[in-house]
Structure formats: C-alpha cells, structure tokens
Amino acid sequence: MNFTLKIWRQKDAKSKGCFKIYNVSDINSDTTFLEMLDILNNRLVLEGKEEPVAFAHDCREGICGMCGLFINGRANGPDSGVTACQLMMRKFKDGDTITVEPWRAKPFPVVKDLIVDRSAFDKILQVGGYISVNTGSAQEANTLLISQKNAEEAFDAAACIGCGACVATCKNSSAMLFVASKISHLARLPQGKIEAVERAKNMVAKMDELGFGGCSNTGACSVECPKNISLSHIAKLNREFIKAKFKK
C-alpha cells in the first residue's frame, strides 16, 4: 500500500511547529501504524537531510499507554478500542492521505514532533491515587471478601493505561475520565473506601490546578478511550466528590 503522510514537525517545546508531507510506499497491510512510521524514519535517517519523526512508544501491545497519536482528527485513528501501536494499516485505503498530530491540550505541552509531556497525569495520582498501605501491614488476602461484581467493575476502571486520549479528544481538555477511572477503581473496593472521599477531593483539586478543563458531559472521551473506560465512572466520581463537599 502507498500513503501520503502529513506529519506535525516541531523541534522542541519552544519552537513553532508545522506540517510536512512525506510519501511512503510498499507498506504491507499487516503492518502497524508505528511500524509504518519506523519505515519512514529509517529512510529519513539514511537520507540524512532531516531528523526522523520523534514519537513515543514502548510496549507496542496497547498496554503501556505511551504511544498516543492524533490521526486524521481522531485519537489513534479510524479503528476503535485500540492504541496507535495496535492500529493496523489495513484500516486505511491504499493511496490515503493521513494526517498525524500530537495530542493537543494545554496541560500536555509538545516536547518534540509527536511527543507530549503527560507528567500532569502522574502529578494527579501522586496526591491520592492509591490506598495508603505500607509494605508488610496487609491482612491475609482471603479474609477480605469482594463480590465478583465489584471486583470486575473495579477492574474495568483500573484498566486505564494513562494514555491521555480522553484529554486530547475533549474540547475542554478535561481529565475527568482519567481521574474518575482511578477514583472509581478504588472506591468500589472495601479497602479503598476509607480514603475515597479525601482521595476524590485531592485529585480533583490537583486536576484543576494543573489546568485541565471542566467536564461538560459530551462523552467524547469514552468513545475514543482505547480501553473503553465507561462514562459511568465519572458519575461515580461525582458521587464521591459530592460526599467530599458535604464533609467540608
């Protein structure tokens, strides 16, 4: 297959970026989107005229959350429920022009080309995205019974990979789905309930402080989330958050 790529190039955080056009040919339909970029990059290196395209990636199996790209105006392109590394070129038509951009959101400044700085996510989790248990103080695991339903629902929320597609998709750059997934994961488990209210309060405050926008319930985040994190977790967050307000 052959493609025309329109790729965002930006030297560093301070420089202004622009789109540049590249052609790639003889791409196998079983190739992933990132492998296609590898092929382009190998060519650019050998040509030696400009730097290869910088993009973040690691696991290449949809779990590390490192690789998000805005492709043809959608987070991770035309397929749903996948990360960029899992997007197959067979999802495109031969001859397509494909636009590739970094996540665009104020709290995620561009580092270079397609790489953005998502450290704001870590900062939100640092203020409370955990259960405060020291190593060694845990009780025997089976003395804590958790219904299968609660465990499964907690898992659904915990499956978030911290990729930022939700923020990039949201017109307000809200991090609500990301934050809600962690709050909901822990609030559904008995061992996570004790700190639930405090946790919600601290994480939401941090989210606001870091410049993420408010949630206006459009639901676009959940549609584009590669892990299909459900909007119902945002409702759960709101419940915890209301409790937090009452406690004040």
Partner 1 sequence: MTKLNSKIPEGPLDKKWDKHKLNIKLVSPANKEKLNIIVVGTGLAGSSAAASLAELGYNVKIFCFQDSPRRAHSIAAQGGINAAKNYQNDNDSVSRLFYDTIKGGDFRSREANTYRLAQLSGAIIDQSVAQGVPFARDYAGYLDNRSFGGTLVSRTFYARGQTGQQLLLGAYGALNRQIHTEKIKMFPNREMLDLVKIDGKARGIIVRNLITGKIEKYGAHAVVIASGGYANVFCLSTNAMGSNAGCIWQAYKKGAFFSNPGFVQIHPTCIPVHGEQQSKLTLMSESLRNDGRIWVPKDKTRAEKLRKSKTPASDATKISEDQRDYYLERRYPAYGNLVPRDVASRAAKERCDADFGVNASGNAVFLDFKHAIKKLGKKEIEKRYGNLFDMYYKLTADNPYEAPMQIYPAAHYTMGGSWVDYNLMTTIPGLYSIGEANFSDHGANRLGASALMQGLADGYFILPYTIGDYLANDINTPAIDINTPEFDEATKNVENRIDKLLSIDGSKTVDFFHKELYNIMWNHVGISRNKEGLKKAIALIKKLKEDFWKDLKIPKEKHTVNQELEKAGRVADFIELSELMAKDALSRNESCGGHFREDFQTDEGEALRDDSNYTYVSAWEYKGKDEEPIMHKENLIFENINLSKRSYK
* Residue 24 or 177 with smaller CB distance to ligand SF4: 177
User: Minimal distance in Å, beta carbon 233 to ligand FES?
Assistant: 20
83 binds, among partner 1, ligand FES, ligand SF4, none (CB under 5 to 8 A by kind): ligand FES
220 binds, among partner 1, ligand SF4, ligand FES, none (CB under 5 to 8 A by kind): none
178 binds, among ligand FES, partner 1, ligand SF4, none (CB under 5 to 8 A by kind): ligand SF4
Q: Determine, following the binding rule CB under 8 A, whether residue 17 of this chain makes contact with partner 1.
A: no
69 binds, among ligand FES, ligand SF4, partner 1, none (CB under 5 to 8 A by kind): none
Q: Determine, following the binding rule CB under 8 A, whether residue 130 of this chain makes contact with partner 1.
A: yes
Q: Determine, following the binding rule CB under 8 A, whether residue 142 of this chain makes contact with partner 1.
A: yes
Spatial distance between the Cα atoms of 76 and 69, rounded to a whole number of angstroms: 5
Query: Environment class of residue 245 by beta-carbon count within 10 Å: exposed (0-12), middle (13-18) or buried (19+)?
Result: exposed
Spatial distance between the Cα atoms of 120 and 138, rounded to a whole number of angstroms: 30
Residue 218 CB-half CA count within 13 A: 16
Place of tokens 């994961």: 185
Number of Cβ atoms within 10 Å of the Cβ of 168: 23
Per-residue b/e over 69-87, b at no fewer than 16 CB within 10 Å?
bbbeebbbbebeebbbbbb
Q: Which of the residues 168 through 197 are near partner 1 (CB under 8 A)?
A: 185-186, 189, 191-192
Q: Provide the token pair at 244.
A: 């937090």
Q: Determine, following the binding rule CB under 8 A, whether residue 96 of this chain makes contact with partner 1.
A: no
Q: Determine, following the binding rule CB under 8 A, whether residue 14 of this chain makes contact with partner 1.
A: no
From the list 112, 201, 233, 236, which residue makes contact with partner 1 (rule: CB under 8 A)? 112
Q: Provide the token pair at 123.
A: 């900062």
From the list 161, 168, 196, 204, which residue makes contact with partner 1 (rule: CB under 8 A)? 161
Residue 55 DSSP one-character state: -
User: Minimal distance in Å, beta carbon 29 to ligand SF4?
Assistant: 27
Phi, psi of 97, rounded to the nearest 5 degrees: -100, 130
* Residue 65 or 129 with smaller CB distance to ligand FES: 65
